[in-house]
Structure formats: C-alpha cells, structure tokens
C-alpha cells in the first residue's frame, strides 16, 4: 500500500530533499570532471556499456546517501542488487550516469538520476544534466522546478510529432504522421527525455520495453509534479522497488495529451 502523507512527513523529506540536492550536484560535478577523458570501459550483460566513471559516481552517491540514511533501502544500476531493499519503506533508486552511451560518445545528453521511493511511489526526484547545467527537482505535492524555477508540462491534447520523442515504430502507431515530419532528435538519457515533458520542451515522450526503475523513478515524479502523467500505454501507474524492476512500454505527457494517447492505445492495443 502507498505510504500515508503523515508517514512521508515523518520520514523528514525536508532533510532528505536537501541531502539529495547536494549529493546530485556532487555526483554531477564528478561525472563532468571525467567527461571527455580517456576512461576504462567494458560491457555489462550482453550490450550495456559501463565505464569507470559510472562506478566512481555510483560509489560517491552510495557513500553519501547510505551514511546519511542508514535505514533506507538501496537500488542502483551499478550496484549488486540486495533483496533487503524489499523490506524497506524508504528506498533510494539511482542511475549514476543515465545515458552512458552518450557520455562515452562525448555527447551532452546524459544525466544523474536519483529518486527516493516510499512504499513503491517516488516522493523525491532529481535529474541533473551537468553538461547543460539543467537541474530538475521535485518533491511530492510541491511541484517541479528547473534550476529553481517552477515548470509545467505543455497543455492541450493535439499530437505534434516534431515535439514527440521515443522509438519511431512505437510513435508511428499513433497515426497521422506526415512524410515531411520527423520526431524530436534522440535523447541519450531516458530520464532526460522524460523530464523534457515536464518543462514543456516535449509534448510527449515514449519509452521502449527495456527500462528499469533507475531510468524512470525520478523522472516519474518530476513529470507528475509538473502537471503531467507517466504511465504504461494502458494508463497504469508505475510501482517501484519491487522484486522485478523492469517496465514495459511507457508514455509521458501533459494530462490532456496523455489521456488522448492512452485512449488511442487502449482502442488500438499493441499485441
């Protein structure tokens, strides 16, 4: 069951929000100091690139957050999973460098993404793109800010393809895309792609079926607190810190546009 608001207050979100903002800034500075340098790299699993920068940033974040909140759970892309997190009400969910391929290609579209999740739902979220100095931050019930200024998702329900990002075969299923139209250019960090909806730069963003908690949790809160929605194509809210951290096809958009897109995919399901 979702944690009650009184329980969230009891978890000292003010303290945790300040801690999170500081740690994300530190992590971003470290990642930026290693950006466009010669790094050791290797492949994790079948195709996922990892670099010594990913590990260094992860180590910094883990040391700072776990020392300050020893009773919280921990889930990170670059840490061995510990099932003890499943018994924790509060859990940090971390992607030290989201968009490692872009980072290693010396492109700017990567980010540090961290969320604090309470009983499966994010209550704090930060996505920081150090190369462009864009810091997105949200606290449940308090809105979303970009570099300290409030932001909001774009209103309306119309579909304007040049302001939509995501896998082209998926987006094309909306129908109506003209031959002379193209989607918004690819964004290497999925978290950064999603929070572009929160600032209104994108009307909608889609995610393919291979995302994990650490790609999504911070962006999820940032989008919702900016007046948007981020769900499965069927309109189901995401739940985090479960045994299986994988998620299927997703869409983020302002509420009216999101409702329009979800209605379309309910009527035209992907089999």
List pLDDT tens digits, range 17-62: 999 999 999 999 999 999 999 999 999 887 889 999 999 999 999 9
Per-residue pLDDT for 109 more than 70?
yes
Q: Identify the burial level of 42 via C-beta atoms within 10 angstroms of its C-beta, where 0-12 means exposed, 13-18 middle and 19 or more buried.
A: exposed
Which helix (H) or strand (E) element contains residue 165?
A: strand 164-165
Q: Which residues are annotated as a binding site?
A: 77, 95, 97-98, 215
Numbered ranges of CATH 3.30.540.10 in the chain: 5-150
pLDDT at 209: 87
% of residues, the chain, pLDDT over 70 = 96
Q: Which residues are annotated as a binding site for Mg(2+)?
A: 77, 95, 97-98, 215
Spatial distance between the Cα atoms of 225 and 70, rounded to a whole number of angstroms: 27
CB atoms within 10 A of CB 177: 17
pLDDT at 5: 43
Q: How confident is the model at residue 2 (pLDDT cuts 50, 70, 90)?
A: very low
pLDDT at 55: 98
Please compute, for residue 187, the number of CA atoms within 13 A of its CA located in the half-sphere on the CB side: 25
CB atoms within 10 A of CB 216: 29
Distances (CA, A) of 164 to 25, 95, 250: 29, 24, 13
Fold of 5-150: Fructose-1,6-Bisphosphatase; Chain A, domain 1 (3.30.540)
Q: Give the residue-averaged pLDDT of 52-73.
A: 97
As beta bridge partners, residue 164 has: 204
Spatial distance between the Cα atoms of 108 and 180, rounded to a whole number of angstroms: 27
Distances (CA, A) of 72 to 22, 69, 79, 244: 18, 6, 15, 19
The three-state secondary structure class of 253 is: strand
- Tokens linked to 117: 């999740």
DSSP code string of 91-123 = EEEEEEEE-HHHHHTT-S--EEEEEEEETTEEE
pLDDT at 11: 53
Q: Give the residue-averaged pLDDT of 158-186.
A: 95
pLDDT at 46: 79
Residue 148: DSSP 8-state = T
Q: How confident is the model at residue 156 (pLDDT cuts 50, 70, 90)?
A: very high
% of residues, the chain, pLDDT over 90 = 92
Q: What is the dihedral of CA 255, 260, 262, 266, to 10 degrees?
A: 150
Considering the domain 161-267 in this protein, what is its CATH number?
Answer: 3.40.190.80
Q: Give the residue-averaged pLDDT of 250-261.
A: 98
Give this prediction's pTM. Answer: 0.95
Per-residue pLDDT for 6 more than 70?
no
Numbered ranges of CATH 3.40.190.80 in the chain: 161-267
Q: Which of 106-115, 126-135, 158-167, 262-271 has the lowest mean pLDDT?
A: 262-271
């Amino acid at each position: 069951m979702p944690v009650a608001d009184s329980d969230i207050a009891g978890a000292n979100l003010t303290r945790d929000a300040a801690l999170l903002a500081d740690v994300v800034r530190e992590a971003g500075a470290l990642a930026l100091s290693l950006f466009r340098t010669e790094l050791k790299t290797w492949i994790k699993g079948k195709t996922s690139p990892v670099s010594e920068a990913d590990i260094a940033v992860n180590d910094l974040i883990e040391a700072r957050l776990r020392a300050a909140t020893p009773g919280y759970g921990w889930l990170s892309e670059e840490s061995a999973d510990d099932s003890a997190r499943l018994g924790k009400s509060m859990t940090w969910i971390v992607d030290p460098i989201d968009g490692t391929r872009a980072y290693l290609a010396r492109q700017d579209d990567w980010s540090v993404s961290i969320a604090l999740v309470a009983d499966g739902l994010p209550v704090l979220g930060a996505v920081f793109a150090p190369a462009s100095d864009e810091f997105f931050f949200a606290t449940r019930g308090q809105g979303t800010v970009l570099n300290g200024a409030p932001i909001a998702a774009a209103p309306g329900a119309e579909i304007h393809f040049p302001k939509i990002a995501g896998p082209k075969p998926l987006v094309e299923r909306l129908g109506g895309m003209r031959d002379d139209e193209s989607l918004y250019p690819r964004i290497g960090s999925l978290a950064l792609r999603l929070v572009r909806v929160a600032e209104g730069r994108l009307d909608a963003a889609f995610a393919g079926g291979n995302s994990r908690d650490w790609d999504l949790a911070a962006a999820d809160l940032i989008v919702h607190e900016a007046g948007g929605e981020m769900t499965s194509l069927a309109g189901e809210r995401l739940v985090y810190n479960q045994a299986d951290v994988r998620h299927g096809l997703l869409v983020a958009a302002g509420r009216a546009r999101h409702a329009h897109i979800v209605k379309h995919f309910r009527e035209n399901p992907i089999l």
